[in-house]
Structure formats: C-alpha cells, structure tokens
Amino acid sequence: MALVNGYTLIGEAKKQKTLAGAFNTTNLETTLAILDAIEESNIPSMVQIAPTNIVLSGYKYIVDMVRNRASTMKTPFCLHLDHGKTFEDVRQAVEAGFTSIMIDGSHLPFEENIQLTKKVVDFCGGYNIPVEAELGAITGKEDDEVNEADRKTDPNQVLEFVKRTGCATLAVSVGNVHGFEQQPKIDFDLLGKLSDISPVSLVIHGGSGIDDQTLQKISQYNVVKLNIGGDLRRAYISSIGKQYVANNNEYNLIKVLLKAKGDVQQVVYNKILSMNLLNIHH
C-alpha cells in the first residue's frame, strides 16, 4: 500500500532529492484528483487537510477515502494534518489514521509555541508520527495584523526551537503568503540562512501564489515539503462555474464532477513536475 508513515515519506523525498508537494483536499473529488496525480507523477508527495476544511466530512471519512485509493497505488504518499491549531485537532487526526501531523503554534508567544509543539511531539511519538511545527507566522488567510518584519522567521530562534520541541520539520516564513490576496516575495537570503541553521528540513506554505521558476529555486534549498491549496480549490470551483455558464440547464452531476476532478488533477500533476524540474533524474 502506498500510504506510508510521514517519516518514511520524508526519507524517500530526501533519498530521491525531490520536493514533496503537499496538496490540500476538501472532498472526495479533490482527494482522488490529488492521489491520481501523485500516482501518475511517481514522485513521493502528500495529501493534507486542515481542521477548517474537515467540517463537511470529518477526519475518518478522509482517511477511508485515502485508504481505498491507496490500496491500488505504488507511489508513496502520506496523509498530513495541515495547520492543526489545538492538541484536540491533533489527537482526532492521529486516532483517525493520519500518518503525519502539523501543529501550528506560530500565533502564540515563543515559549508557548514551544510548549504546545513539545506536547504534540510527545503524543505523536507514541505513534511514530512526525510533527511539523511553525515558527514565524505566515501571512494571508492565517493572520492579518502583524507587521512584515515580525512575520518572518527569526534565524536566531530556530536552533533553540527545534532542539526543545523535537519537531521533525519546520514551516518557516520567508515572504510566502497564504491565498491570493497578497503577492509572495521570497527572501532567498533568509531562506539560505534558515537552511544552514536548521537541523531539520524546512517547509514552505503558500505555494499556490509562487511561480514555477521560484518553486524550482526553492527546491534547491533544505526544503522537503511545499504546500499548495488555493490553486486546487480555484481550479475546482472554476471548472464547475464554467460548466454551469456553458449550460445552465446541466443536471448531469457526475459529468460536471468528473470534469472538475480532471481539472484539479492536471493542476496537481503540473505542480509536482514543475517544482521538481531541476531534481528529476531521467
């Protein structure tokens, strides 16, 4: 079965020197689109969902969907909780069968972020599940009122944070933003510093707004995971919208959903390949 433990997935990506795209799902169609694209690409990747997107289905539904498709897949992937905000988010996802976890304490003061992250790391350790932590709030949807300098990850805090929490990977803020409201401007000097300092591999959030050339440049740093959500949601909604505009009497729902699923799959496949353009050895 291709659904693997998060540690296995990170190890596989490092071994192949590829960047693991982590794609946000919301429902059955987006889940299948992501998994079919991962299988087609043959590059270790992740499917993920945030607690904010679980309201329609629940963790167990997502796990069941993923396991059903995984049983016939060969390309390794893991199922990741994106932006878990509370210990309860984490507990529910782990008990449902998620194989990788993120705890986002970046909105908390430094010490409290460490305490929450460490608590989650200790809990997940019992299940041998890796924990992604976040240091330095990433702008956009997640938070709005911090000034630009404060939002970026402070290199001086990285070593202490990683050592004290035991996190497996670290999400950093280097000018990347969530959603489409702001333009990302990646600070490669800072990313270089963080890559050198951090004892664990880094994670970049907000990959949707970042152009392919910049993604390829990011892949050359100590970055193991790159999150993409907005591009997928936009492709799905846009596909359904265009189909309705083309025929507002359409009632063949499966036809509409298959087209939307196909459109999302194409976006995921293109992203996996483009972010790894410099890493794929033929």
| Cβ atoms of residues 39 and 76 within 8 Å | no
* Residue 104 marked in a binding site: yes
H/E element holding 82? Answer: strand 77-84
SS (H, E, C) 150-180: HHCCCHHHHHHHHHHHCCCEEEECCCCECCC
- Residues in a beta bridge with 99: none
Q: Is 134 annotated as a binding residue?
A: yes
Whether 143 is catalytic: no
Helices and strands counted in the chain (H then E): 11, 8
Catalytic residue among 36, 64, 82, 189: 82
For residue 83, say whether it is annotated as part of any ligand binding site. yes
- Does the CA dihedral 108-111-112-114 come out positive or negative? positive
Q: Which two structure tokens, joined as six digits, stand for 74?
A: 């060969």
What is the Rg, in whole angstroms, of the alpha carbon atoms belonging to the chain? 18
- Annotated binding residue 281: no
Cβ-contact 191, 174 below 8 angstroms: yes
**Catalytic site residues?**
82
Q: Annotated binding site for Zn(2+), which residues?
A: 83, 104, 134, 178, 205
Q: Annotated binding site, which residues?
A: 83, 104, 134, 178, 205
